[in-house]
Structure 1
Amino acid sequence: MAYKTLHTGHHGISNTTVPMTKRGIVNTLLNTLLVWQERSNMRRHLANLDERNLNDIGITYAEMSAEASKPFWQA
């Protein structure tokens, strides 16, 4: 059985581990895949920005390059 840690409170002080249902596991997996896909798309778009657009959003070429080169699973 899979378990998930629930964080309660603003500072995450109280953690509770509860068993996950099959539906919860599937939802967590799908949400993770969607986050990875969105992250990959955003990094691809970021890599295609020219210097003027990078300046408009306030990042340097080096910052863009570092972010765009991360794998999709890395936040």
Structure 2
Amino acid sequence: MNYEREVRVPGGRVDFVVGTVAIEVKIKGSSESLSRQLQRYVEAGRFTAIIVATTRPAHHVVADPDRTPPITVVTLGGLGL
């Protein structure tokens, strides 16, 4: 599977991009900050889906599977991140 790392978009960098899917990895930061960051990714118009992989259950408030592109949040636990 091909992927890109640290992909520049207006207002930031996406950690990983696989095809048209953005993957953002978060181990700290507020939900508000993450929400603003994801909004910039949405506005870039490049992605068909955004996945947030996080160690913080509080980040689930940014999940929005009904928007375009959908935002999915996955909590990673016990991985020593």
Which structure: larger Rg? 1
**Larger helix fraction of residues:** 1
TM-score interval, normalised by the smaller of the two chains? under 0.3
**Larger strand fraction of residues:** 2
Structure number with greater CO (CA < 8 Å, separation at least 6) is 2
| TM-score, reference length from structure 2 | 0.22
